[in-house]
Amino acid sequence: MKIAIASDDGKTISPHFGRAEGFVIFEVQNQEVRSYEYRQNSFTGHALGIEGQQSGDRHKTIIEALRDCDVVISRGMGRRLYEDLKYAGINPLITDEESVENALKMYMKGMLADNPEKSCKHKEERECGSRDKDCGS
């Protein structure tokens, strides 16, 4: 199983999935971390500088870049992305936990709560910004 955790520094969980500098990818087998890597974010609309400009399948690059992951964890993400990840067979989790290490341990113990109600609520294709206080930005 592979678990991707959005992070700017490899230690803390990014408050917004698409704006994360990258993703710590853990390969877990039998409740043990077998390997990990840091995958630089060069594939989200935010990273590509095309946020809000995409048409059609706007999350295709994110889903393809994380296709090998079973779970993605962040402290915030747009509701549409949350649903698109689920549809692609990738389990998204929005957590209050700030530590990558703690979130991983909690997830492996089945104790990491998902808070989908904390997803961003984009209005009229507007991306999260300073007006969205509970967006995680």
Going from N- to C-terminal start, the domains of the chain cover 2-118
Tokens encoding 105: 């341990």
Identify whether the C-beta of residue 77 lies closer than 8 Å to the C-beta of residue 92: yes
Identify whether the C-beta of residue 129 lies closer than 8 Å to the C-beta of residue 137: yes
- The pLDDT assigned to 76 comes to 92
Confidence tier at 80 by pLDDT (50, 70, 90): confident
CATH topology (fold) of 2-118:
Nucleotidyltransferase; domain 5 (3.30.420)
Q: Which CA distances in Å does 134 have to 24, 38, 120, 130?
A: 24, 27, 7, 10
Q: Please give the model's pTM, rounded to 2 decimal places.
A: 0.80
Q: How far apart are CA 11 and CA 51, in angstroms?
A: 26
Q: How far apart are CA 100 and CA 61, in angstroms?
A: 23
Residue 127 has pLDDT above 50, yes or no: no
